[in-house]
Homo-oligomer: A and B are copies of this chain.
């Protein structure tokens, strides 16, 4: 299994369903990097086309891998090392293709059921043992339509015990990675 994840900051929706580039959230980088390290993810792509946001993400990465943070907390270092800042999903896919010798399956996550290419946790759990996969998460109000169209599959939404589906992307990533790669 070679699993990659991508956190997409553009194109995503804002509250009014306009297409935006969202800002980097420090907590997302830390929490999701630690999840990536826990579930043996090969690389965590932080995807944003904005120069200043790339610089911010790189600065956070540097602080915890080379700077004061690396000495202060080596567990953070081990996790943040998995982060790669990259301008677009296509470039992340190209990079995986170079490393793995073939293009990864793109599996998107979303809060609504996308009937045509919807896939269950059970099926992805099996596929993950054989194929290279990039699992993508949207920030803000979720992945823009063209990104969902680009995906090979769209994972079923998370259901809890209510109809409430407004988790943070950090919590959603935790639940999804555990459902797909957890052992208990």
Copy number in the complex reads: 2
CA distance A27 to B28 in the complex (A): 10
Q: Would A34 and B167 count as touching, CB distance under 8 A?
A: yes
A165 at the interface (CB under 8 A from B): yes
Interfacial chain B residues near A37, Cβ < 8 Å: 162, 164, 166
Check A164/B31 contact, CB under 8 A, given A170-B171, A175-B178, A178-B175: no
8 additional contacts (CB under 8 A) given A39-B162, A159-B184, A175-B178:
A27-B170, A34-B167, A38-B165, A40-B160, A121-B184, A159-B183, A174-B178, A175-B175
CA distance A177 to B31 in the complex (A): 17
Q: Would A183 and B171 count as touching, CB distance under 8 A?
A: no
A8 at the interface (CB under 8 A from B): no
Return A51 CB to nearest CB of chain B, in Å.
Answer: 26
Q: Would A181 and B164 count as touching, CB distance under 8 A?
A: no
Residues of A at the B interface (CB closer than 8 Å) are 15, 27, 30-31, 34-35, 37-40, 73, 75-76, 78-79, 120-121, 156, 158-162, 164-168, 170-175, 177-179, 181-184
Q: Would A159 and B182 count as touching, CB distance under 8 A?
A: yes
CA distance A159 to B38 in the complex (A): 8
Check A174/B167 contact, CB under 8 A, given A39-B161, A161-B38, A162-B38: yes
Q: Would B167 and A170 count as touching, CB distance under 8 A?
A: no
Return A40 CB to nearest CB of chain B, in Å.
Answer: 4
Q: Would B39 and A171 count as touching, CB distance under 8 A?
A: no
8 Å CB contact of A31 from B35, B73, B75, B171: B171
Chain B residue nearest in CB terms to A74: B166
CA distance A94 to B123 in the complex (A): 45
Return A156 CB to nearest CB of chain B, in Å.
Answer: 7
Return A32 CB to nearest CB of chain B, in Å.
Answer: 8
